[in-house]
Every structure is written in C-alpha cells, then in structure tokens.
C-alpha cells in the first residue's frame, strides 16, 4: 500500500493525479477559525491551514479534506447538518484510489468539550469541583462513556478500510491541553477538574490507540508530542487555546502553531511508513 506514494512524496504530484490523501474528522482536525478559512464548506469551519493541509504539503500529495467542526462518528456515514446546510457523509470521500487516510474523531461522541466547558469555575472554593459530579456514586461518567464507545471506533476503522481498501490509515489522537493541576485562571478549572478533564482526554487517546492497533491503522500520539505546549503556555509556545483565545483560533482547540506541529507529526508518521 505505502509504495503507492513513491514519487508523490518528492513533491511530484500534479493536479491530474488521483486523490491520494483523504482527511476525515472533527474540529480538532478541521481547525476552526485558523486562517485562512476553507470556503468550500463554510459551515464546517475548516481551515486551509489545518493539520491535513500541513501534512499533505509536506508530503507533496493531493488532499481531499472533508473534516468538519462538530462532527461525530455518525457523520462519517450520514450527512452532517451545519449552520450553512448539510454536508455529505465523510466516508463518501473515500475510494479504491485513496492511498492515505487521516482521522481524528470521537471527542464529540464522548462529550469531552462539553465536559470541559461545564467544569469552568470562576469561583473556586465557593463553587464545587465538577469532578465530584462526574464521579458521583463511584461511577466515572466520562470513563464509562469512553469504554462503552470504544468498539464504535473499531467499527469505523473497518468501514474506512472497506471504502478505501488500498489506503494506509492514520488515527491522530487528541493533545495535552492541560498540564498537571491546570493553571487557573488562564484555564478556569480547579486543579482537580483540570486533572480529570485531561485524564479523560488521555483515556480517549488510549482507546483510540487500542482500536487503531486492532484494526490495521497507525496511531499518531499527539498527546505525548504536545506535552509542554498546553493552553497554559505563552503564545508562540502553546498549541492549544484556552477559553479566551490569544490567537485566531476557536477556544479549546488547536491554534495555527498546533496545526503546523500536528501536521508535521502526521507527515512524519506517513513518511516513516513509506520508507519502511
């Protein structure tokens, strides 16, 4: 499969070349508000500088980017409704000519962003930590949701292989958004809540990695690669924005620096598979 990229990786792809690389995923891949915007699907808030575009440029291969903010795994096989109308199921972009697929999905399915925003605490010490609510009765709601959802990621990867039987599939995980104990008030979460939210992201990544290994896909460990580039760092160092962004990017999402770094990591993972 990977030998199909020979020649294209040297930047020799032309407009007439069959689409080599299809990018699937949610806002962590689409890069909402990162400039410049992709106006072909304005409701998806997709950037022309998202990590798939960065990776494709580094590899010198043509890209079909159908990532879309707000996407869930259901939107892989059904039309997704956006503020400017419906967009086709993302898996419709795949075919036997697809040689590379990248995928970041599942955060919306398990409710990571919703949990993070619900834990915003402007009066710590007065308002209770939200971790107590999420773990009441000895049940970790997010952990249980992630565990229950895990087989769906495997089924999705099988569907990707069915639609793109000649492709190598790369599952890019979610990043290190928060350091140990967070950084209130820059990220307005209490230390316990910051650890709980990042811990839930880590559980999601672990599930993605397991399913990638079990379903013939490569896992790209963005979480480890992004340590030291969390929302608490200064502009130019951080790859992710907090509740109030300091660059043109959506809150709680990768910024342009993050997209460049993740794109380079994905391109490196693809290149390693090609050379191997």
- pLDDT tens sequence across 250-266: 999 999 999 999 999 99
Q: What pLDDT is stored for residue 268 in this prediction?
A: 97
Whether 10 shows a pLDDT value over 50: the answer reads no
The verdict on whether 218 is a catalytic residue reads no
Whether 4 shows a pLDDT value over 60: the answer reads no
Q: What pLDDT is stored for residue 158 in this prediction?
A: 98
Catalytic choice (27, 200, 226, 242): 27
What is the homologous superfamily of the domain 2-107+157-175+205-275 according to CATH? SGNH hydrolase (3.40.50.1110)
**Looking at beta carbons, which pairs linking 177-181 to residues 24 or more positions away fall under 8 Å?**
177/116, 177/201, 177/230, 177/231, 177/240, 177/252, 178/230, 178/231, 178/232, 179/230, 179/232
In whole angstroms, give the CA distance from residue 121 to residue 108: 21
Q: What pLDDT is stored for residue 81 in this prediction?
A: 97
How does DSSP classify residue 227?
A: T
- What mean pLDDT do residues 91-101 have? 97
- Tens digits of per-residue pLDDT, 49-91? 999 999 999 999 999 999 999 999 999 999 999 999 999 999 9
Angstrom distances, CA of residue 100 to CA of 48, 60, 140, 262: 18, 12, 36, 16
Q: What pLDDT is stored for residue 16 in this prediction?
A: 40
Catalytic choice (53, 215, 225, 253): 253
In whole angstroms, give the CA distance from residue 63 to residue 160: 16
In whole angstroms, give the CA distance from residue 188 to residue 177: 13
The band of 19, judged by pLDDT with boundaries at 50, 70 and 90, is: low
SS3 79: coil
Q: What pLDDT is stored for residue 54 in this prediction?
A: 98
Whether 238 shows a pLDDT value over 70: the answer reads yes
The verdict on whether 27 is a catalytic residue reads yes
pLDDT > 90: percent of the chain = 91
Q: What pLDDT is stored for residue 18 in this prediction?
A: 61
| DSSP structure string for 124-147 | BTTBPPHHHHHTGGG--HHHHHHH
- What mean pLDDT do residues 158-172 have? 98
Q: What pLDDT is stored for residue 142 in this prediction?
A: 98
Q: Where do we find the tokens 């300091």?
A: 246
In whole angstroms, give the CA distance from residue 121 to residue 192: 11
- What mean pLDDT do residues 189-205 have? 98
- What mean pLDDT do residues 9-15 have? 40
SS3 220: strand
Whether 145 shows a pLDDT value over 70: the answer reads yes
Angstrom distances, CA of residue 89 to CA of 23, 106, 152: 13, 15, 16
The band of 272, judged by pLDDT with boundaries at 50, 70 and 90, is: confident
In whole angstroms, give the CA distance from residue 128 to residue 99: 50
Strands (E) located in 91-239? 100-104, 168-172, 218-220
**End-to-end C-alpha distance for the chain, whole angstroms:** 12
Q: Which residues contact 95 (CB under 8 A, 6 or more apart)?
A: 19, 163, 164
Q: Which residues contact 60 (CB under 8 A, 6 or more apart)?
A: 8, 9, 10, 11, 12, 13
The region that residue 3 occupies, defined by phi over 0 for left and psi between -120 and 50 for alpha, beta otherwise, is alpha
Q: What pLDDT is stored for residue 5 in this prediction?
A: 55
């Amino acid at each position: 499969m990977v030998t199909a990229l020979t020649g294209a990786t040297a930047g020799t792809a032309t407009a007439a070349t069959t689409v080599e690389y299809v990018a699937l995923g949610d806002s962590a891949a689409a890069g909402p508000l990162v400039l410049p915007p992709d106006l072909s699907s304005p409701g998806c808030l997709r950037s022309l500088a998202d990590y798939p575009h960065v990776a494709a440029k580094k590899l010198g291969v043509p890209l079909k980017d159908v990532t879309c903010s707000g996407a869930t795994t259901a939107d892989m096989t059904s039309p997704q409704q956006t503020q400017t109308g419906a967009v086709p199921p993302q898996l419709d972009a795949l075919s036997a000519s697809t040689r590379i697929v990248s995928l970041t999905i599942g955060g919306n399915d398990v409710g990571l962003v919703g949990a993070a925003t619900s834990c915003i605490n402007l009066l710590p010490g007065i308002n209770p930590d939200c971790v107590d609510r999420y773990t009441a009765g000895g049940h970790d709601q997010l952990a249980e949701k992630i565990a229950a959802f895990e087989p769906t990621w495997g089924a999705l990867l099988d569907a990707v292989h069915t639609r793109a039987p000649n492709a190598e599939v790369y599952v890019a995980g979610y990043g290190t958004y928060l350091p140990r104990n967070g950084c209130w008030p820059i990220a307005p979460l209490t230390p316990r809540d910051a650890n709980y939210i990042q811990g839930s992201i880590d559980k999601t990544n672990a599930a993605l990695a397991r399913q990638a290994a079990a379903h013939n896909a490569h896992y790209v460990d963005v979480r480890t690669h992004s340590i030291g580039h969390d929302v608490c760092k200064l502009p130019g160092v951080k790859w992710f924005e907090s509740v109030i962004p300091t660059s043109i990017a959506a809150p709680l999402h990768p910024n342009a620096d993050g997209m460049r770094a993740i794109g380079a990591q994905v391109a490196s993972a693809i290149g390693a598979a090609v050379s191997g």
